[in-house]
Chains A and B, each alone.
Chain A
Amino acid sequence: MDATDLARWQFGITTVYHFLFVPITIGLSFLVAGLQTAWSRTGNEKWLKLTKFYGKLLLINFAMGVVTGIVQEFQFGMNWSEYSRFVGDIFGAPLAMEALLAFFLESTFLGLWIFGWDKLPKKVHLACIWIVAVGTVLSAAFILAANSWMQNPVGFKINPERGRAELTDFGAVLTNKVALITIPHTIAGAFLTAGALMAAVAMWHLVRRPGRDTAAFRSAVKLGSWTTLVAMALLFITGDIQGKIMTEVQPMKMAAAEALYGTEQPAPFSLFTIGTLDGSRPVWSLDVPRVLSFLATGTFDGRVQGVNDLQAEYAARFGPGDYAPNIPVTYWSFRLMIGFGVLAALFALWALWAIRKGRSPAPERRGTRLLMWGMIALPLLPLAANSFGWIFTEMGRQPWIVFGQMKTAIAASPAASSGDVITSLAVYTLLYGALAVVEVGLLLHYARAGLPDVTPPPATESDEDRPLAFAY
Chain B
Amino acid sequence: MELSTLWFLLIALLFIGYFVLEGFDFGVGALLPVLGRDERERRVMINTIGPVWDGNEVWLLTAGGAMFAAFPEWYASLFSGFYLPLLLILLALILRGVAFEYRGKRPAASWKRRWDWCIVFGSVVPAFLWGVAFANIVRGVPLDAGHNYTGSLFTLLNLYALLGGLTTLALFLTHGAIFVALKTTGDIRHRANLLAERLGVFAAIAAVLFLGVTLLRRATPAAVVLAVLAALCLVGGLVANRLPSRTDPDGRREGWAFAGTAAAIALAVASLFADLYPFVLPSTVDPVTNSLTVANASSTPYTLKIMTWVALVFTPIVLLYQGWTYWVFRKRIGTHHIPDEAAQMPAPGSPPGSRAAAG
Contacts and interface: CB of A to CB of B under 8 A. Distances in A.
Interface stretch (B53-61, B248-256, B265-273): B53-61
A112 B329 CA distance: 9
A170 B65 contact: no
Contact of B76 (A84, A170, A212, A427): A84
Contacts of A99: 58, 61-62, 64-66
B69 A88 contact: yes
A445 interface: yes
Interface in B134-164: 146, 148-150
A32 to B, nearest CB: 11
Contacts of B310: 96-97, 100-101
A78 B69 contact: no
Nearest to A414: B148
Contacts of B72: 84-85, 87-89, 92, 164
A77 B76 contact: yes
B43 interface: yes
Interface in A72-96: 73-74, 76-79, 81-82, 84-85, 87-93, 95-96
Most chain A beta-carbon contacts within 10 A, residue among B68, B84, B306: B68
Contact of B57 (A59, A107, A414, A472): A107
A232 interface: no
B81 interface: yes
Interface stretch (B172-180, B220-228, B318-326): B318-326
Contact of A88 (B61, B64, B75, B302): B75
A457 B325 contact: no
Interface string A454-472: 1111000000011111111
B101 A59 contact: yes
Interface in B290-334: 299-300, 302-303, 306-307, 310-311, 314-315, 318, 321-322, 325, 328-329, 333
Contact of A85 (B51, B61, B73, B103): B73
A2 interface: no
A60 B97 CA distance: 11
A461 B101 CA distance: 28
Contacts of B35: none
A452 B54 contact: no
A1 interface: no
Interface in A290-325: none
Contacts of A416: 80, 83
Contact of A472 (B46, B67, B300): B46
A468 B333 contact: yes
A449 B127 CA distance: 38
Given A81-B77, A415-B81, A449-B348, A66 B300 contact: no
Contacts of B212: none
B196 interface: no
Given A423-B84, A424-B83, A450-B352, A472 B66 contact: no
Contacts of B58: 99, 103-104, 107-108
Interface stretch (A115-123, A258-266, A279-287, A390-398): A115-123
Nearest to B75: A77
Contacts of B73: 85, 88
A453 interface: yes
A73 B314 contact: no
A431 interface: yes
A471 B76 contact: no
A187 interface: no
Contacts of A114: 50-51, 359
B79 interface: yes
Interface string A363-402: 0000000000000000000000000000000000000000
A60 B98 CA distance: 9
Contacts of A119: 328-329
B213 interface: no
Given A81-B76, A449-B346, A468 B47 contact: yes
A93 B55 contact: no
Contacts of A105: 321
A437 to B, nearest CB: 12
B301 to A, nearest CB: 10
Interface string A203-239: 0000000001100000000000000000000000000
Contacts of A240: none
B119 to A, nearest CB: 11
A446 interface: yes
B106 interface: yes
A96 B315 CA distance: 12
Interface in A428-455: 431, 435, 438, 442, 445-446, 448-455
A109 B317 CA distance: 13
A167 interface: yes
B149 A415 contact: yes
A448 B348 contact: yes
A93 B146 contact: no
Given A76-B68, A107-B54, A424-B83, A468 B339 contact: yes
Contacts of A326: none
A84 B79 CA distance: 10
Contacts of A74: 64, 79, 86, 90
A143 B64 CA distance: 15
B105 interface: yes
B356 A468 contact: no
Contacts of A111: 50-52, 54-55, 325
Interface string B84-111: 1011001101110110111111100000
B359 A117 contact: yes
A450 B348 contact: yes
A355 interface: no
B359 A451 contact: no
B108 to A, nearest CB: 12
B217 interface: no
14 contacts: A71-B94, A84-B68, A84-B76, A90-B303, A96-B66, A99-B64, A108-B325, A116-B51, A119-B328, A164-B72, A449-B346, A453-B353, A467-B339, A471-B47
Given A100-B310, A111-B50, A465-B336, 20 more contacts: A63-B100, A70-B94, A81-B79, A84-B76, A91-B68, A93-B306, A96-B66, A99-B61, A99-B62, A112-B51, A113-B359, A167-B306, A413-B76, A415-B148, A423-B87, A435-B98, A451-B352, A469-B359, A470-B344, A471-B337
